[in-house]
Amino acid sequence: MLLPALSGVFGDAADAIRVGDQRASREDLLSAATALADRIAGSPAVAVWATAGMETVVAVVAGLLAGVPVVPVPPDSGPSERDYVLRDCAASLLLVPPTSAGTAPLAEVAVPVATVDVTARSSTSYPEPADGTALILYTSGTTGAPKGALIPRRAIAADLDALADAWAWTPEDLLVHGLPLFHVHGLLLGVLGALRVGSRLAHTGRPKPDAYAAAAGTLYFGVPTVWSRVCADPAAARALSSARLLVSGSAPLPLPVFERLAELTGQPPVERYGMTETLITVSGRADGERRPGFVGTPVAGVQTRLVADDGTPVAPDGESPGDLQVRGPMMFSGYLNRAAANQEAFTADGWFRTGDIATIDADGWHRIIGRASIDMIKSGGYRIGAGEVENALLAHPAVREAAVIGAPHPDLGQQVVAYVVADATTEAQLIEFVAGRISAHKRPRQVHLVEQLPRNAMGKVQKKLLAGG
């Protein structure tokens, strides 16, 4: 069973599931989702306007009960992006909260719109569906329109079980997060994880430090932006000291944030690595070491390897970077209607090409350098990881944020260029500072001081929006 917590085996409570100010027992969630499943059963796919509300949870669970693929649509989607996704996945309905129906963002939608009633009830009994596509998650690449990654039920089950093992996640936990409900982190881990493990869930609506502090959880999920804001509120951070595990993912956690979070809460966070297509494949463990700058070791059932540009193996010496490839039971089953992309995504012997550059040491610890297309800078014959330069910049006391890219250069091929949010410092001072901490050839040739960096909903810096990126 994909969601055993809905079977009653873990007991129940009136507020087992909290999303903002909305509360539901697991029994009420099951009954409301069943009522919606009665309406959508037999559909080829349904889309969900994935706001941070109980309606999204009910809609996703309804699809899982009925065996109907669910397509989460970000509520900040523009009309062209929204309609592209709806057409591409051939959704029969767009499920929305009652408060969203008829509003401007949903004007002239390409498919019928239906509201989700969280108070509806049904006692229909649905047998566990056969394995098939549970979610279609759209992910943007470096070029072209977003692709719909087909996530099978078996992949979700395998990944959540592996993470429950790595994080010692049990029904006794109270999971707290405020992440968007249209990505792997917030929806699959942060909602379906609780419904598979049997833990209670408190979604804070938005990931604000005071809301995290007030939730009194045992297990917290956040992205680096969230943890940075928590650290900026020392009282809120100290309130998390009673939690047993803090997990960071979706983007690299800057070293200063790692260190400050450990200082304020009394424990270093656990970092993990994954992608929409692979779910979470590498993580630190609750009972293991926490290394700043590293994302851990492969979770149960996962294998990883590094390869060079020419396809030869890269030694796991902790220093040599290579293209990271993975395989395991939590892989997606392909991109919707993208035969060429599917062929390109996998090697001839069945490994998924992540497109990320990493190092692996002799103990299996992984350090993600960045995207091969963006974060591996080839300058003057050197291969320079953007993340290493970013961490060097972030070590400067005046620097709050940093993003590094490779920009075209007539002599070097590419030059290292940094975009920095900082107080009371200069370009020359930052270049000199970095050159004193890492190899001189890795220093930025240019530093642009900016007011903010462009980020997406998960807090990832959108480097393609930076000049030259």
**Strand 133-139, strand 200-203: pairing:** unpaired
Per-residue confidence of the chain (469 residues) as pLDDT tens digits?
999 999 988 889 999 999 999 999 999 999 999 999 999 999 999 999 999 999 999 999 999 999 999 999 999 888 888 999 999 999 999 999 999 987 878 888 889 999 999 999 999 999 999 999 999 999 875 556 789 999 999 999 999 999 999 999 999 999 999 999 999 999 999 999 999 999 999 999 999 999 999 999 999 999 988 999 999 999 999 999 999 999 999 888 888 899 999 999 999 999 999 999 999 999 999 999 999 999 999 999 999 999 998 899 999 999 999 999 999 999 999 999 999 999 999 999 999 999 999 999 999 999 998 887 777 787 876 778 788 899 889 989 999 999 999 988 877 878 999 999 999 999 999 999 998 888 788 899 999 999 999 987 767 788 888 865 4
- Give residue-wise pLDDT tens across range 333-388: 999 999 999 999 999 999 999 999 999 999 999 999 888 777 778 787 677 878 88
pTM comes to 0.86
Instruction: Tell me which amino acid residue 71 is.
Output: V
- Give residue-wise pLDDT tens across range 407-436: 888 778 789 999 999 999 999 999 999 988
Domains within the chain, CATH numbers bracketed: 4-130 (3.40.50.980), 376-465 (3.30.300.30)
